[in-house]
Amino acid sequence: MIRTFSFIDVMYLVAAARWTLALTVTAFAGSAVLGLALALARIAPVAPLRWITAAYIHVVQGTPLLVWLFLIFFGLPLTGISVNPWIAAAVAFSIYGSAFLGEIWRGALISIARTQWEAGASLGLSLYEQLRHVIVPQSIRVAIPPTVGFLVQLIKNTSLAATIGFVELTREGQLTAAGTYKPFAVYITVAAIYFAMCFPLTQWSRSLERKLDVAR
């Protein structure tokens, strides 16, 4: 029996959006931890470490996110490691996001004038102390706008988790459309919910760019 698309269905879609946000937060946290390590490794004085890190970033950025989802969700069970859709999605997004955050943050670090590094060294500061007291405080204002922009992209990219059966907003939309035979109404609602999540962040990112005005 075909049911109509009703307010209850809208509430189910809104409820599913919490899993989109939960996956986004988890993936962003994982991306941030790995991305910070990659950024620091990319500016490390050890050349082999820089080469390995650069190769990792090129491979990850050059591979579709969907491939990473399939590799982890369908590939790991072939090695005897069983993962559920939530873990697979969180790991895949963390790996994928780390390559982009790592490059964003590396760019912010190297954007600081070399004289600032030299000034820190002349004061007898170690590399860690230079980063903590001199470089990072200045590079944060450069990194924040693109980081928020990446977060917006991450929210939208979580829709790919539907391909491995993770029930977030897009997957719930697929199930609702199949049950109501009202795909247009369902996906318009799904799009509106994504817009409601992303638009404030987009505006915030633009506001930060104007306020920080990194070119000055």
pTM: 0.88
- Mean pLDDT, rounded, of the chain: 89
pLDDT(127) > 80? no
Q: What is the pLDDT of residue 216?
A: 46
Q: What is the pLDDT of residue 142?
A: 84
State the SS3 of 125-171: CCHHHHHHHHHHHHHHHHHHHHHHHHHHHHHHHHHHHHHHCCCCHHH
| Helix, strand, coil percentages in the chain from 3-state DSSP, rounded to 5 | 85, 0, 15
CB atoms within 10 A of CB 66: 14
The full set of domains in the chain, from first to last, is 22-169 (1.10.3720.10)
